[in-house]
Structure 1
Amino acid sequence: MKQRVRAVLLTDHGTMLVINRIRPGIPAYQVLVGGGVEPQDADLEAALLREVREEIAGEAADLRPFCQLENDKGEAEDFYTAQILSWDFDDRTGPEFQRDDRGEYLLEEVPLTVEAIDALSLMPPQVKDALLDSIRAGGLTAPVA
């Protein structure tokens, strides 16, 4: 069973970054930046920082554990919050972007509000619930520039 890591990437605009997945034959949905932990990764945080670099050519800081969930494949996924310092979606390098059969990946900033998060089709669905609970409790905020 593969270990996975994902990030709730908080911007200084009071938003978070999500990747819109558009694939033929299924409704669009969103995912958080992240992926599988590789043998060369020193730990979960190193894996997550690598995934941020690959998927959005980004640099993140202040990683904090957010929640751990099991996805529909039975894989453990560790979610972190992190401050995203920079990103350039055009310079992404992840192997998934090299395959034509994977559909589209579109980066979007989403406000950290109950309404905006509730409108997402975020996968896995349990992370959406965790985000909503955290926002309602006042625990998920980003500094506003």
Structure 2
Amino acid sequence: MRVRHKARVALLDHGHLVFLKRGRPGGDAYCTTVGGSVEPADADLEAALRREAMEEIGATIGPATEFLTLTEPRGTSTVVQHYFLADLLEMDLERRHGPEFDDPDTGDFEPVRVALNRPAVAALNLQPAELADYVLGHVEAWGV
């Protein structure tokens, strides 16, 4: 069975969390973390995370700490999602690049800043559900 790894990051930004708002035309919008597949050229998970943050939102990030790992069997492969928490150091949407931005079917792909509290996070439709549950259980501690 093939195993694919993905590196994803919840970003802390001065009392806020930064997620990605996603949605395709005709579908429901949702939020998720910045991140994606670990590529063969990536030295490790953190290198993939830094590359994805730059590609998706033009961001540089501080040190990253893994807080959740989800394993999803998908037929002939398994996807292992590694979720990290890191400080957002800088974001410039003009630096975004990658295949997502060349595909007209990508739909919404925008950063969203939300207050670092349970009601704000609960209102996001944060996906996947396991991530939302974890963040809701820890968001106040992240703000300390």
Percent identical: 36
Instruction: Give 3-state SS (helix, strand or coil) of 1:102's partner.
Output: coil
Which residue matches 1:40? 41
**Structure having the larger proportion of residues in strand:** 2
Asked if residue 91 in structure 1 is aligned to residue 95 in structure 2, the reply is yes
The answer as to whether partners of 1:3 and 1:77 remain within 8 angstroms in 2 is: yes
Please give the alpha-carbon distance, in whole angstroms, between the structure 1 residues aligned to 2:98 and 2:31: 17
The Cα of 1:94 is off from its aligned counterpart by: 2.1
- State the number of aligned residues: 139
Please, what TM-score do these two structures have when normalized by structure 2?
Answer: 0.89
1:75 aligns with 2:76: no
Unaligned runs of 5+ in 2: none
| Alignment-mate amino acid for residue 10 of structure 2 | V
Q: What is residue 65 of structure 1 aligned with on the other side?
A: 66
**TM-score with structure 1 length normalisation?**
0.89
The gaps in structure 1 that reach 5 residues or longer are none
Partner in structure 2 of residue 125 of structure 1: 129
Letter in 2 for 1:102: T
Q: 1:88 to 1:72 in 2, by over 3 A?
A: farther
Q: Is the 8 A contact 1:71 1:124 kept in 2?
A: no
Question: RMSD of the alignment, in Å?
Answer: 1.5
- Give the drift of 1:47: 0.6
Q: Which runs of 4+ in 1 moved over 4 A?
A: 71-74
CA contact (8 A) 2:54 2:95 kept: no
